[in-house]
Chain A
Amino acid sequence: GAVVSQHPSRVICKSGTSVKIECRSLDFQATTMFWYRQFPKKSLMLMATSNEGSKATYEQGVEKDKFLINHASLTLSTLTVTSAHPEDSSFYICSARDHGDTGELFFGEGSRLTVL
């Protein structure tokens, strides 16, 4: 099956710094990728939909300037957490859909961000 790779899997950073997380579709082209955030014992929260070659669509309540999303190619989307604070510590997961809108959704391995 299709594979989505996410990097890094774990990152620890100091408050005020920026962190970039990459999401790659390894064996298929993904015009759309999704970025989620998950808090302990809670379901996935969709942060934004990343569209190749255009601006990301952010969900209500998600700060666009804080969570920068770039989808520069059909196989790569990046999420940059700018000026990270301890409350940004979370598990961030990307996903990509194979075969258009109704295809199976594949998830990356997730990235656990800890901001000190």
Chain B
Amino acid sequence: GQNIDQPTEMTATEGAIVQINCTYQTSGFNGLFWYQQHAGEAPTFLSYNVLDGLEEKGRFSSFLSRSKGYSYLLLKELQMKDSASYLCAVMDSNYQLIWGAGTKLIIKP
């Protein structure tokens, strides 16, 4: 079966760095997405990785290892507004997105 695993909840301190991991087992692979979702709102796109390596975009970076079925989202210089759920999603061989349950990130002052 297809499966996306990510931690349910994480807590970090304002100004610090946090890494949210995602492991996956899917039928084929056509890229991995990270989305941010604030409570009561729709998800917003953060990153897309299809090749191995690190993609940096401002305070956010995303890493992919296809051989390990593993990705992480790295958030630097955390701000209170970064408190949200972070969703990992993998596009399978049929170009359908398989979603993880999301990681709720709590930022403390």
- In the assembled complex, how far is the CB of residue A89 from the closest CB belonging to chain B, in whole angstroms? 14
Q: How far is the CB of A43 from chain B (nearest CB, A)?
A: 4
**B19-27, B61-69, B70-78, B96-104: which one contacts chain A?**
B96-104
Contact B42 A107, beta carbon cutoff 8 Å: yes
Alpha-carbon distance between A82 and B99 when the two chains are bound, in angstroms: 27
Binding site of B, secondary structure by majority: helix, strand, loop or mixed?
A: loop
Residues of A within 8 A of B (CB): 1, 6, 34, 42-44, 46, 49, 91, 93, 101-102, 104-110, 112
With a CB–CB cut-off of 8 A, which chain B residues contact A91? 40
- A106 and B45 form a contact (CB under 8 A): yes
Name B33's closest neighbour in chain A (CB-CB).
A105
Cα(A42)–Cα(B78), bound, Å:
24
- Interface pair B87/A43, CB less than 8 Å apart: yes
Total count of chain B residues near the partner, CB < 8 A: 21
Query: Is the beta-carbon distance between B97 and A102 smaller than 8 angstroms?
Result: no
Give B36 Cβ to nearest chain A Cβ, in Å.
11
Which of B31, B40, B44, B101 is in CB contact (< 8 Å) with A42?
B101
Additional A-B contact list (19), CB under 8 Å, known A1-B45, A102-B30, A110-B41: A6-B42, A42-B101, A43-B100, A44-B87, A44-B99, A49-B96, A91-B40, A93-B42, A102-B31, A102-B50, A105-B33, A106-B45, A107-B35, A107-B42, A107-B43, A107-B44, A109-B41, A110-B42, A112-B40
Contacting pair B97 A46 (CB below 8 A): yes
Whose C-beta in chain A lies nearest to the C-beta of B104?
Answer: A41
* With contact pairs A102-B31, A102-B95, A104-B48 given, residues A43 and B101 touching in the complex (Cβ less than 8 Å): yes
A101 in contact with B48 (CB, 8 Å) = no
Known: A102-B31, A102-B91. A46 touches B96 (CB 8 A): yes
A49 to B30, CA, bound (A): 18
Q: In chain A, what residue has the closest Cβ to B102?
A: A43
Q: Which residues of B contact A104 (CB under 8 A)?
A: 45, 48
Contact at A105–B45, with CB atoms within 8 Å? yes
For B40, B41, B42, B99, the residue with the greatest tally of chain A CB atoms inside 10 Å of its CB is B42
B99 and A43 within 8 A (CB): yes
